[in-house]
Amino acid sequence: MSFPWLNSLESAFEPHAAHPQTTLERDQKKFWHAMQTEALDDMTEVIGKYGAQCLTWESKDGMPPLQTAQAWGCFQSFVQLVSLGLSTDVDYGQGWTPLLTALRDNDKFFIEYIIGNKPNLDAVATDNKGRTHTALQFAVDHGNIDAVRMLIERGANDKLEIEGKDGMKMLPADYARAKHEGKIAELLDLAPQVREIYEKQRVPFVPPAAAAPDAPAAPK
């Protein structure tokens, strides 16, 4: 006895021919896989083929390449994209720059590299609750005194107020004290001196000019 409805049910579970991928889809898949595995040669090959167009592609998470590399923790891929011209000052949305994202996540590799690329150290991001966040705030939150020092040395505004969870705003040094980060608070109090020392260290040492040799005596 046959059951036509059973045959129909079986056919519903039969694998259908997959939609053939276009060359673009294959290259996009290769690009994202190369980013995730940090296969830099493959990344460069795809970028060479599509140019700036591929730098506007979005991952399955809806993020552009630089943000995706950072979200996935693919540091070498991130560096490669920056070397190809992407800005470390790009706004991921609501003011979230690569630097603020790295500081929020306390990702020391990204923090040091991004700061070295001279980004805007005073950018302000807003979270989904409307609270604002700054670079120094995140560094203080994580007790990351090295990040605080790097930010101060390179000119972060130590007078840019930080918004606490209660909405109250305070200076970074006071914010650090409220967080019981005494050493960081002291460093922030001494911000002008810290910057001065850093600038002096940056200036290459130029030895004093050697004294000109005495002129030969005139013949008698």
- 209 within some domain: no
pLDDT of residue 174: 97
* 173 and 189 both lie in a single domain: yes
- 60 within some domain: yes
Q: Rounded to whole angstroms, what are the CA distances from 148 to 38, 130, 184?
A: 30, 24, 7
* 38 and 65 both lie in a single domain: yes
- 140 within some domain: yes
Last residue of one domain, picked from the residues 50, 66, 86:
86
* 92 and 195 both lie in a single domain: yes
- β-strand partners of 163: 169
pLDDT of residue 79: 96
* 37 and 106 both lie in a single domain: no
Domain that holds residue 126: 88-203
* 75 and 101 both lie in a single domain: no
Q: Averaged in consecutive runs of 10 residues, what is the pLDDT profile of the chain (220 residues)?
A: 46 53 92 95 93 90 95 96 92 96 97 95 95 97 97 97 92 97 97 94 61 54
Predicted confidence (pLDDT) per residue in 96-121, tens digit: 999 999 999 999 999 999 999 999 99
* 185 and 135 both lie in a single domain: yes
* 183 and 125 both lie in a single domain: yes
Q: Would you list the DSSP string of 76-141?
A: HHHHHHHHTT--TT---STT--HHHHHHHHT-HHHHHHHHHT---TT--EE-TTS-EE-HHHHHHH
* 53 and 150 both lie in a single domain: no
- 213 within some domain: no
pLDDT of residue 36: 95
Number of domains in the chain: 2
* 74 and 161 both lie in a single domain: no
Q: Would you list the DSSP string of 170-218?
A: E-HHHHHHHTT-HHHHHHHHTHHHHHHHHHHHHSPP-PPPPPPPPPPPP
Last residue of one domain, picked from the residues 39, 70, 86:
86
* 49 and 122 both lie in a single domain: no
pTM: 0.81
pLDDT of residue 6: 43
